[in-house]
Every structure is written in C-alpha cells, then in structure tokens.
C-alpha cells in the first residue's frame, strides 16, 4: 500500500478499515496499524496529532458513530447493535455511548426527532398570531397552576400523599421559665425527643446543629422548611416549674404552614422520658412513618432511671461544643451524672467524646487512655445506642487505626440511621484514611441531607466543597459542577473551591492545556500552596514538558523541606522520571528509592496500580500488565485514575503491548460498572 501523505486521506482510510472490521471485538490499534502499513507508535502519534484522540479512543468513536446510524436505521435493540459494532459488553457500550452523545442508546431516535422538529420550527416565520398563541398558552398554564394551588386539597390523592417525603426538623424550643437557667432543660427535652425520632429509618430528621440558627430568626415556617429541605417542622415551648415540666408542641405541615396537631403536656420530672417517647410516637404517627418493633423498643428504652443524673447530663451537653475550659466543665457535669447513676452509658460516652476533642489535632495524645476507658464503660452498659459506639470509634481514630473505627460507626447507624455525626465521620474516613470513593459519596450525600444548614457561609462553602469532591471522584462531573458553584457562592474566598473547580472543569472538557493555565493562575495567588504546586508540576509532566515540570517539582520539594513534612509520596515516581529525563540520574534514583519505600507500606486499593508504574519505570511491561489487571479488580478507585491514566508518559511505554487495550478497557469497565451501580442505589435512596 502506498504511503498516505495528507491528513484527510489518512483519517478517511483509517475509518474505512475500522468500518470493515466493525463487528470484530478484537480489532484494535495493532490490527489497524498492520492494515495501514505503519508501526504502532507511528499510528498512535499520527492519530493523536490529527484528531487529538488516542488511537483506542479514535476506534471507539467510529464504533459509536456507526452504532448511532444503526439505531436510527434499524429496529434492532441496543444490545444487538453493541455486538454488531464490536462491543463485547452491552453495559459498557451503553456507558460509552452515553458519555459520547450525552444520552443512552435507547433515546437516539427520540432525540433525533426532537432535533428535526426544532430545525423545522426555526424555519417558520414568527407571526403575530403565533406570538398570541404562545401568550394564550402561557396564560393558560398560569391559570392551571393557580387553580391547582388554590384547590390542591381537593386534587390531592392518597398516592400523592404517600410520595411526600417524610422529613422533619425540630425548631429550637422556647424557654418560658422565669429562670433563664432552665433553658438547658428545655433544650434537653427537645434534643432527646429529636434523638428518639432519629431512630426511625423511614424518617429523615435534620440535626440540631442545622436548626439552632433559627432560634431568634424572623423567617417564616415556609422559608425555614425550604432552606432545610423538609416537609414538616416541629415548634415547641416549655418551662420547668419545681418538680414539673410544662410543654406545648405542634407539628406543622410546611407546604401550607398549617398545624397537623398540637398538644400541651404537664408531667412530673420523673416521667420526662415518657413525655419524650410520647412526642416521638405522635409525630411518627402523624407523618405516617413506618416504625418497626426494633425501633419502637429503642425509642422506649430509658437512658437512666435517675432524674438527677439526667439533669446533670443535660447541663454537661450545654458545655460540650466549647473550648478546652468548656469541655472540662462538661466532663465535670457528666461525672456528676455517673455519681448518681454508675451505669449511665451515655454519660460515659460523652466524657469519652470530650477527651477526643481535648486531644484533637495534638501530636501527643494526652487523654487516649481515658478516652478508651470511658468508651469501653459506655459499651459495657449499653451497646445498642449510637453514642457509646461513636465514642469507641473516636478512640480508634485517635490511634490512627481507622479501619477498626468503621464497624463501630456503621453499627451506630443501625441504631440511629439519622446520626449525622457518624455519617460525617464516615465520609471523612472514606475520603482520606480508608479511600473508597463510592462510600465517600454515599455518606457525603447523606450528611448534607441530615446536617444541611451550617451556621455561617464559610462552613456551608466547605460542606458543598466536600460534596462536589465526592461527586467528581465517582464520575458525576456535571453534578459536581453544580455544587462547586454553590461552594463559591457562599464563600468566594474559599481557597480550595477554585482549585477543585479547575479539576471538575477538566472532567467535563478533558482540556489539559486549559487546566494547566487555570492552575498556574491559582498558583500565582499563593506560591506556597503545596497542593497546587505539585499538581501544576504534574500537569507539565503529563504534557512531557519536563523543563516546567522540574521547575515546579523543585519548588514543591523546597516547600516539603521547609515545613519538614512528607506529602503525596505516590508522586515520587513522577519526580524521579522528570529528573531522569532532565539528566539528573542521581536525584532520579533518590526519588525512585523513596517511591519504593512508599510501596512497601502502601495497603490501599491503589497499590497494584502504583506497583505497575514502578514496573513501567524499570521497563518490565509484562509485570506492569499483570499489576494493572489486579488493580482492575479493585472497588472504589477515583475518577481521576480514568481521566489521567493515558496522559502519563510512563504509560506510553506500554502502548505497544498486545494486551494494552484490553487492560485499559478492564480498568475503565470496572469504574463505570461501579458508577452505574452506585447511581442506581443513590437514586433508589433519593440521595441523588
């Protein structure tokens, strides 16, 4: 075959060969190179230059374009067409098709018809009558909406009531006692009633921290409910008079700001737990929540029979969120509670939690033994409540035994599905300490629904930042874009939001040069940012611009040295490769040795992938393929692996390997299969 010298002919000829072999699932880069009378490396380079795609991406796009033609022209199913265009796995075909066209194969004909209708519509002249018709349609729609609004009670069916989400928030109760010092008791009654409701899985109960900001807030019930995203609100007021507690409470339907029921209660202090149980049951009954026998037993379980111990416990809670002095004050009250009731599990648990916070962010853990002792006592007296379980989990977190903490937190959620603290801790663990992107996202989504409103815009910004990070790590790039904008809206000065936004934009556009330029802008704002510095170096490394890569890697190394820290050890192989390319072989060996030390300690899901990089560095492609095949079996790795995988210069050493395409496809397929499953689960649980 004669040499093909110009771009149009080259691409046309390549497309022709791919179409001729379209149903052959084994037809890949090597086979195309043979037909084009070119070496594999020359083919890869030429396709990349002329289409800005890898050869495998180019072949895949031709297959997908042919699939779209067949979907429009035939009555064959998507699965049948998947095999006709060389996809051995219909679900992987659907994933690729959706990613390329923006919709699944089944919607192809509908989308085409809509496009044709829109084209015809734009060709028609705009007349006054047409505008009038549009105006009439708009007025008619407004009338329908108005009628539906004013007569919605008549039109609401039993089915629509069932669809209404069973979500509720307690607004801060008002203290009507003449003595303001009794506020702690009224707060305690409210929080204990809330805690009882949280044990019902069929309900979504917003945390107290999300509602405290509304204590003296002039907003209406409807406005508050909309901000919190709930269907029902609970308002209450009370007073403690001598040995009695008086409480007025009402449950409000937030949609029309009308009370569903209201009650006044007068109880002896000794019977305050019975009062809290009655409140929880009546609310659950009114909302038509499904309460299991197990949940009912948990609600009816008394934390203590000693009202004096309970009183000390409530006083301790008022100090628990403060500084070191407040935490010690809280411990003193919880100790008094234990003196009154030596088996008061929640009091032991709260002391353990206080010791956790006293040691938080300290290199030397001063209170570790006490934390463990009180957590164990809490579990000894009650192992079926969330607080003792959370306390024990915090002990393992403080000892850096993160995997041991997880079962306690998950067990805590069995007894209290709405325990926002357990959900948020799990989200943080799965994000960093025990990487699992799927569980990270699930808990981040649960957390934002339970702890939806922070007390300040800065905290809100970080909540949305965390959620957008969890979304993009799982391949939900468009959804992540929405929440990163929310993060920036609440706090434009959040230093991490623009940084993450740049990567989310890349996930949507795949434009590496644009990402590099954006990261350069962020770096110039603060040249001491270690995260941005190493990422900027990595962007140049991916583009094989080793001069710039070395410039920023050396700055990154200087920051590490100045601060006496060791971060991102997995990046040392890229640093070694950059030094090697620039002729600094001794420094390359130094950082390669560091990378090997990191691998010896690595127990994460990424170990086999990291090991493959070492094999590539050392020119052992067969071992690299073997390691990548093992990595392809891992669950929960981040979307960044897929996005940047083929950009790495080291991986180019593998592109001529006969099993390269198959291996890459396995890793991608594993990610997208998991993505599909988690999407189905999150949609089923109404989290996404």
**Quick one: what percent of the chain has pLDDT higher than 70?**
90
* Residues 392, 374 contacting (CB under 8 angstroms): no
Q: What's the chain's Rg over C-alpha atoms?
A: 31
pLDDT band for position 299 (cuts 50, 70, 90): confident
Whether this model's pTM surpasses 0.95: no
Position 4 confidence tier, pLDDT thresholds 50, 70, 90: very low
pLDDT, tens only, 170-217: 888 887 776 666 677 777 778 788 888 888 988 888 887 778 778 777
Please check the confidence at residue 596 and state whether its pLDDT lies above 90.
yes
Across 460-482, average pLDDT: 89
3-state secondary structure 622-674: HHHHHHHHHHCCCCCCCHHHHHHHHHCHHHHHHCCCCCHHHHHHHHHHHHHHH
pLDDT for res 153: 36
Tally of CB atoms within 10 A around 371: 27
Give how far the C-alpha of residue 147 lies from the chain's centroid of Cα atoms, to the nearest Å: 40
The greatest distance separating any two alpha carbons of the chain, rounded to the nearest whole angstrom, comes to 102
Average pLDDT of the chain is 83
Q: Does the structure show a pLDDT above 80 at 142?
A: no
CA distance linking residue 406 with residue 404, whole number of Å: 6
User: Per-residue pLDDT for 117 more than 80?
Assistant: no
Please say whether the beta carbons of 455 and 448 come within 8 A. Answer: no
Poorest-pLDDT segment among 134-143, 164-173, 243-252, 299-308: 134-143
What is the number of alpha carbons within 13 Å of residue 298 lying toward its C-beta? Answer: 25
Q: What's the sign of the alpha-carbon dihedral 645, 649, 652, 654?
A: negative
pLDDT at 553 over 90: yes
- Strands in 80-149 per DSSP E: none
Cα 394 → chain centroid: 22
Q: How much is the average pLDDT of 628-635?
A: 92
Average pLDDT over residues 620-644: 92
What's the rounded mean pLDDT across residues 81-105? 79
User: Which has the closest alpha carbon to 290: 393, 203, 397?
Assistant: 203
What is the reported pLDDT for 181?
62
Over range 361-371, report the average pLDDT: 87
**pLDDT for 347:** 96
With a cut of 80, say whether residue 16 has pLDDT above it. Answer: yes
Range with the poorest average pLDDT among 179-188, 354-363, 389-398, 609-618: 179-188
Please answer whether residues 210 and 453 qualify as being in contact, where contact means their C-beta atoms are separated by less than 8 angstroms.
yes
Q: Quickly tell me which residue has 């069932």 as its tokens.
A: 162
pLDDT for 95: 74
> Exposed, middle or buried by CB within 10 Å (0-12, 13-18, 19+), for 149?
exposed
Average pLDDT over residues 597-618: 93
Cβ atoms 52, 632 nearer than 8 A = no
Which one is predicted more confidently, 97 or 620? Answer: 620
CB 458 within 8 A of CB 491: yes
Check pLDDT > 50 for residue 6.
Answer: no
């Amino acid at each position: 075959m004669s040499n093909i010298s110009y771009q149009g002919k080259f691409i046309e000829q390549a497309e022709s060969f791919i179409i001729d072999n379209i149903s052959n699932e084994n037809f890949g880069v090597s086979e195309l190179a043979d037909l084009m009378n070119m070496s594999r490396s020359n083919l890869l380079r030429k396709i990349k230059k002329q289409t800005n795609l890898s050869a495998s991406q180019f072949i895949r796009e031709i297959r997908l374009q042919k699939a779209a033609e067949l979907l429009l022209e035939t009555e064959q199913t998507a699965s049948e067409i998947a095999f006709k265009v060389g996809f051995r796995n219909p679900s992987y075909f659907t994933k690729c098709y959706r990613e390329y066209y923006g919709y699944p194969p089944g919607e192809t004909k509908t989308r085409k018809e809509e496009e044709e209708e829109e084209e015809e519509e734009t060709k028609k002249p705009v007349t006054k009558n047409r505008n009038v018709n549009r105006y009439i349609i708009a007025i008619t729609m407004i009338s329908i909406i108005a009628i539906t609004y004013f007569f919605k009670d008549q039109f609401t069916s039993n089915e629509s009531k069932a669809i209404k989400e069973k979500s509720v928030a307690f607004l801060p109760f008002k203290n009507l006692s003449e003595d303001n010092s009794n506020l702690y008791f009224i707060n305690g009654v409210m929080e204990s009633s809330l805690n009882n409701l949280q044990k019902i899985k069929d309900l979504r109960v917003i945390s107290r921290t999300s509602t405290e900001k509304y204590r003296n807030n002039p907003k209406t019930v409807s406005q508050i409910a909309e901000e919190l995203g709930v269907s029902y609100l609970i308002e209450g007021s009370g007073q403690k008079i001598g040995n009695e507690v008086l409480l007025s409470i009402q449950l409000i339907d937030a949609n029309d700001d009308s009370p569903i029921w209201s009650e006044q209660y007068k109880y002896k202090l000794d019977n305050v737990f019975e009062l809290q149980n009655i409140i929880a049951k009546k609310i659950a009954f009114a909302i038509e929540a499904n309460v299991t026998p197990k949940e009912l037993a948990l609600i009816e379980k008394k934390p203590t029979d000693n009202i004096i111990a309970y009183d000390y416990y409530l006083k301790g809670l008022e100090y628990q969120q403060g500084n070191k002095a407040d935490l010690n004050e809280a411990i003193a009250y919880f100790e008094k509670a234990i003196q009154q009731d030596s088996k008061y599990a929640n009091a032991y648990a709260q002391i353990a939690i206080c010791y956790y916070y006293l040691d938080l962010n300290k290199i030397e853990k001063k209170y570790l033994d006490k934390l463990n002792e009180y957590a164990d006592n809490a579990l000894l007296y009650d192992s079926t409540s969330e607080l003792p379980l959370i306390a024990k989990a915090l002990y393992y977190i403080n000892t850096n035994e993160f995997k041991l903490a997880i079962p306690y937190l998950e067990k805590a959620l069995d007894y209290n599905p709405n325990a926002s603290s357990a959900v948020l801790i799990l989200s943080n663990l799965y994000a960093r300490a025990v990487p699992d992107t799927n569980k990270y996202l699930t808990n981040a989504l649960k957390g934002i629904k339970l702890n939806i409103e922070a007390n300040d815009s800065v905290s809100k910004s970080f909540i949305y930042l965390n959620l957008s990070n969890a979304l993009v790590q799982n391949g939900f790039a468009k959804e992540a874009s929405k929440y990163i904008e929310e993060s920036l809206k609440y706090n434009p000065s959040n230093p991490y939001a623009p940084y993450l936004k740049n990567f989310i934009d890349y996930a949507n556009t795949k434009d590496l040069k644009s990402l590099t330029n954006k990261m350069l802008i962020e770096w110039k704002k603060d040249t001491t940012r270690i995260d941005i510095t190493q990422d900027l170096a990595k962007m140049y490394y991916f583009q094989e611009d080793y001069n710039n890569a070395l410039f920023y890697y050396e700055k990154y190394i200087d920051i590490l040295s100045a601060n006496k820290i060791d971060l991102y050890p997995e990046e040392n192989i890229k640093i070694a490769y950059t030094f090697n390319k620039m002729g600094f072989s001794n420094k390359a060996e130094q950082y390669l040795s560091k990378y090997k030390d990191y691998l010896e300690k690595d127990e994460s899901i990424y170990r086999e992938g990291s090991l493959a990089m070492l094999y590539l560095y050392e020119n052992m492609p067969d071992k690299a393929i073997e390691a990548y095949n093992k990595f392809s079996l891992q669950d929960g790795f981040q979307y960044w692996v897929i996005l940047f995988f083929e950009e790495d210069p080291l991986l180019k050493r593998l592109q001529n390997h006969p099993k390269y395409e198959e291996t890459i496809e396995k890793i991608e397929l594993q990610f997208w299969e998991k993505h599909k499953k988690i999407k189905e689960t999150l949609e089923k649980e109404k989290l996404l």
